[in-house]
Structure 1
Amino acid sequence: MFELHVTERFSAAHHLRGYGDPCEQVHGHNWKVTAFVECERLDAVGLGIDFRVLRRHLRDVLADLDHRDLNETSWFRETNPSAEHLARHIFERLAGRLGGGPAALVRVLVQEGDDSGAAYRP
């Protein structure tokens, strides 16, 4: 089994409703997102999936979040845009784009900074 990953970044604001902490105020992060895929076989060139293809799909998903207040998006009006929820949201959208291709999405890691983050895997 091979595991491959790509990492992209985006900037966005959010706040955590009901948290009772300074994070309840609107603040921003330079988010870092890593998508992990697995594949059992390599193609004739020796690739599990072209990194450019995986990166393009991830960028397309993140484009809807970049330079936004996440709380104002339709996905997070009712749900807090925590790193955990954001990881699941990105996973679900990216998995839908990859479909039944040669590599299966297995995990998405979302980091608020270099030292904290959350991963989602079904």
Structure 2
Amino acid sequence: MAGYLAYSDRPGPGWYAEPFSLSWEEFLSNTVYILGWALLLSIYAIIIALVLFGLVRLLERFKMPDLGVAIVGAVLSGLLSAYIVLGIGWYIAIGLPAIIVGLVLGMLFGAFLLPQKRSIAA
């Protein structure tokens, strides 16, 4: 299982439960619990996103080449995404695969979605 830590407080290998064995009450309780983590994470994510967005727009304003903006955006976005995943992962005993996915998705976002494409006439 991706992200499973043998030394965590989770059941060990060989533990299996009935599929969909949660009651609606347990489901709602877990949903509220997960939303609490999302709220904690959103505070840090918003601050980091504003800094990253502002920096990339500043580089574009100073006419940095598109490839340079994409590289800087990818590196910074990937590292900051990994930082957020590592931070929240400390609380929930997350595994290395989830951290790598956060890094890669952050890099893709920073390289392809964050930079604005300049028009040819500009």
Mark the structure with the bigger radius of gyration: 2
Q: Which has the higher helix share?
A: 2
TM-score band (shorter)?
0.3 to 0.5
| TM-score with structure 2 setting the length | 0.36
| TM-score with structure 1 setting the length | 0.36
Q: Which has the higher strand share?
A: 1
